[in-house]
Structure 1
Amino acid sequence: MNVKSVIAAATGAFMAASAGATAFAEEVNIYSYRQPDLIAPLLDAFTKETGIETNVLFLNKGLVERMKAEGANSPADLIMTVDIGRLSNAKDEGVTQPVESAAINGTIPENYRDPEGHWYGLTTRGRVIYASKDRVEQDAITYEELADPKWKGKICIRSGQHIYNVALIASVIAHLGEDKAEAWLSGVKDNLARKPNGNDRAQAKGVYSGECDIGIGNTYYVGLMMTNEKEPEQKEWADAIKVLFPNAEDRGTHVNISGMALAKHAPNKDAAVKLMEFLASPKGQELYAERVFEYPVDPNASASDIVKSFGDINADPLSLDEIAKNRAAASAMVDKVGFNN
Structure 2
Amino acid sequence: MLKPSLLATSLLAASSLFSTSYVLAQDEVNVYSYRQAFLVEPLFAEFTKQTGVKVNVVFAKAGLIERLEQEGKHTPADLLLTTDIGHLEEAMEKGVLQPVQDEVLEEHIPAHLRDPEGRWFALTTRARVIYASKERVPEGEVQSYEDLADPKWQGRICTRKGDHPYNIALIASMIAHHGEEDAKAWLSALKSNLAQKPQGNDRAQVKAIKEGVCDLAIGNSYYYGKMLENPEQQAWAQAVNLVYPNQQDRGTHMNISGVGMTLGAPHKEAALQLMRFLSDTKAQGMYAEVNYETPVKADVPASELVASWGEFKADTLPLHEIAAQRKAAAQLVNKVEFNH
Q: Please tell me the TM-score bracket, short chain as reference.
A: over 0.9
Which residue pairs with 2:166 in the alignment? 164
Give the drift of 1:293. Answer: 1.0
Pairing 1:186–2:184 present: no
Pairing 1:10–2:9 present: no
Give the drift of 1:24. Answer: 4.9
User: What letter matches 1:68 in structure 2?
Assistant: E
TM-score by length of 2: 0.94
User: What letter matches 1:293 in structure 2?
Assistant: Y
User: What letter matches 2:58 in structure 1?
Assistant: L
Question: How many Å separate the matches in 2 of 1:12 and 1:152?
Answer: 49
Q: Is the 8 A contact 2:285 2:300 kept in 1?
A: yes
Q: Deviations over 1:42-66 (max 9, x none)?
A: 1111111111111111010011101
Q: Deviations over 1:305-331 (max 9, x none)?
A: 121123222110111100111111111
Q: Using a 3 Å threshold, how does the CA distance of structure 1 residues 23 and 129 change in structure 2: closer, same or farther?
A: same
Question: How many Å separate the matches in 1 of 2:20 and 2:306?
Answer: 36
Question: How many Å separate the matches in 2 of 1:262 and 1:220?
Answer: 26
1:155 to 154, 157, 175: 157
Question: How many Å separate the matches in 2 of 1:87 and 1:172?
Answer: 20
Q: Using a 3 Å threshold, how does the CA distance of structure 1 residues 17 and 280 change in structure 2: closer, same or farther?
A: same
Give the drift of 1:73. Answer: 2.7
User: What letter matches 1:313 in structure 2?
Assistant: F
Q: Is the 8 A contact 2:149 2:189 kept in 1?
A: yes
Which residue pairs with 2:323 in the alignment? 324
Give the drift of 1:11. Answer: 5.7
Give the drift of 1:292. Answer: 1.6
User: What letter matches 1:310 in structure 2?
Assistant: W
Q: Deviations over 1:150-179 (max 9, x none)?
A: 111100000000000011011011111111
Q: CA RMSD in A?
A: 2.0
- Gaps of at least 5 residues in structure 2 are none
Pairing 1:312–2:311 present: yes
Pairing 1:55–2:60 present: no
Q: Is the 8 A contact 2:26 2:267 kept in 1?
A: no
User: What letter matches 1:185 in structure 2?
Assistant: L
Give the drift of 1:284. Answer: 2.0
Which residue pairs with 1:107 in the alignment? 108
Which residue pairs with 2:282 in the alignment? 283
Which residue pairs with 1:203 in the alignment? 205
TM-score by length of 1: 0.93
Task: Give the 5 Å matches for 1:231-246.
Answer: 232-246=231-245
Question: How many Å separate the matches in 1 of 2:130 and 2:21?
Answer: 42
User: What letter matches 2:193 in structure 1?
Assistant: N
Q: How many residues align?
A: 334
Question: How many Å separate the matches in 2 of 1:56 and 1:7?
Answer: 13
Q: Percent identity?
A: 51
Q: Is the 8 A contact 1:243 1:311 kept in 2?
A: no
Question: How many Å separate the matches in 1 of 2:103 and 2:110?
Answer: 12
Which residue pairs with 2:259 in the alignment? 260
The DSSP-based 3-state class of the residue aligned with 1:125 is strand
User: What letter matches 1:70 in structure 2?
Assistant: E
Task: Give the 5 Å matches for 1:67-146.
Answer: 67-139=68-140, 141-146=143-148
Q: Is the 8 A contact 1:107 1:282 kept in 2?
A: no
Which residue pairs with 1:217 in the alignment? 219
User: What letter matches 2:50 in structure 1?
Assistant: E
Question: How many Å separate the matches in 2 of 1:247 and 1:267?
Answer: 44
Q: Is the 8 A contact 1:11 1:74 kept in 2?
A: no
Q: Using a 3 Å threshold, how does the CA distance of structure 1 residues 177 and 28 change in structure 2: closer, same or farther?
A: same
Give the drift of 1:250. Answer: 1.0
Question: How many Å separate the matches in 2 of 1:123 and 1:9?
Answer: 29
Question: How many Å separate the matches in 2 of 1:162 and 1:335?
Answer: 12
Question: How many Å separate the matches in 2 of 1:338 and 1:70?
Answer: 37
Give the drift of 1:299. Answer: 2.0
The DSSP-based 3-state class of the residue aligned with 1:15 is coil
Deviates more, 1:45-54 or 1:101-110: 45-54
Which residue pairs with 1:251 in the alignment? 250
Q: Is the 8 A contact 1:96 1:118 kept in 2?
A: yes
The DSSP-based 3-state class of the residue aligned with 1:205 is helix
Q: Using a 3 Å threshold, how does the CA distance of structure 1 residues 12 and 297 change in structure 2: closer, same or farther?
A: closer
Q: Using a 3 Å threshold, how does the CA distance of structure 1 residues 199 and 89 change in structure 2: closer, same or farther?
A: same
